[in-house]
Amino acid sequence: LLERCATDPESAGARDAAMIALLRAGGLRRAELCALNLADYNLVDGMLTIRGKRNKERTAYVTDGTASALCIWLMVRGNEPGPLFCPINRGGRLILRRMHSEAVFNMLRKRALQSGVQSFSPHDFRRTFISDLLDTGADISTVQQLAGHASVTTTARYDRRGEAVKRKAVELLHVPYRGRKGVYNAR
């Protein structure tokens, strides 16, 4: 998806790449993405303030390729206050108003078709964000905060790690029992 956006010479390519990168690397919901304002992003420290469900705020960190994609979009968008992401008309002109959640869905469907990617849900980005953080060893409490979940139980539902991870975790423990000297009966 990102490669397809990068080869699109239109303004929409830069915008779509930044949106996809934030969905993937920030675990944002579509509505959260649409609610972002330019003022929510601190370019210097890479912090992004997200207003989630029930207007609860959380912080996401924009790093790596996501920072690059957002930087390119901001060069196209300019620094006029307002929504971070906005519609682009057929003539390529930016319309500085908030995008709708349905527009994000349609953009993702269009980019998936162009890229030959099988159908997916926009929420798959969020599931992948949470699952990948857990896979890399981030503790579930931190992932809960990054995802903006009110309960760790909700975050746990995204956990796709299997028995091998549980076994590996237990193997990190050391029990210093050696048995009685000279006596060992295995049964």
Dig out the tokens for 28 from the structure.
């944002």
CA-to-CA distance for 35 and 163, rounded, in angstroms? 39
Q: Is 184 tagged catalytic?
A: no
Give just the sign of the alpha carbon dihedral 31, 33, 39, 41. Answer: positive
Single out the catalytic residue among 4, 29, 58, 111.
29
Q: Is 149 tagged catalytic?
A: yes
Instruction: Identify whether the C-beta of residue 5 lies closer than 8 Å to the C-beta of residue 17.
Output: yes
Q: Is 123 tagged catalytic?
A: yes
Single out the catalytic residue among 53, 93, 157, 161.
53
Give just the sign of the alpha carbon dihedral 57, 95, 62, 5. Answer: positive
Q: Is 109 tagged catalytic?
A: no
Single out the catalytic residue among 15, 58, 77, 149.
149
Single out the catalytic residue among 123, 157, 166, 168.
123
- Catalytic site positions: 29, 53, 123, 126, 149, 158
